[in-house]
Amino acid sequence: MRERRGFSRRTARLWTEAKEVVGAAKWRPLKGELLRKAVDSGEFPSQATKEYLEARNRNNVCIVGIESVPAIENLENILKVGGIDAIFVGPNDLSITLGIPDQYDHPDYEAALREIISKCQAAGVPTLIHHQTVELTTKWLQEGARFVLYSSDARSMHNAYRDEFGAIKAAGAELGGGMAEDVGESEEVI
């Protein structure tokens, strides 16, 4: 199994930005005009340079982030850039730019995500989703997403601590005749 290294840029709104992401992931350390020629037309300073860069970057994975309305509007052009291995949907940023922060069950959010998945499927590029619950993750896998970034370290720890403290609270209530009290839990969305 080959080692994989990821590269992602979360703000690709235009095909020109997507080209920069592909260039950085697939043809590093080329820069400037040499990089532009490599990405645009497959032109390299020499065949040896091309072979060297292919070997050097062969394990890199290029994932372009789509997190805004302009990015969705330009997605078909972004997907025409060769070298993109997957599209990542940033749910928080996307919901904010849609004017519905963290409302992942809102019809506008769902329509936007369906549009992204549909365009990616048409281009043969998998869509990577990132949601915080099993239910949302399962829903979007069933809708056509093919990569999953699930939850976060903070959320997983929070859930585990909540379960563990629930068990401790139950033991305390049993010992104290049912008088265990919570001091509260953060309302912050993790």
Find the mean pLDDT for residues 45-65: 94
What would the two tokens of residue 135 be?
Answer: 């239910």
In a domain, 19, yes or no: no
Residue 111 corresponds to which tokens in the numbers above? Answer: 């329509």
**Domain of residue 72, residue span:** 6-12+63-175
Highest mean pLDDT among 3-7, 112-116, 132-136: 112-116
Beta bridge partners of 62: 7
Number of domain units in the chain: 1
pLDDT at 161: 73
Would residue 108 count as lying in a domain?
A: yes
Domain harbouring 100, CATH code: 3.20.20.60
pTM of the model: 0.75
- Is the alpha carbon torsion for 87, 76, 117, 113 positive or negative? positive
pLDDT at 8: 56
Question: Contact 105/64 with Cβ under 8 angstroms?
Answer: no
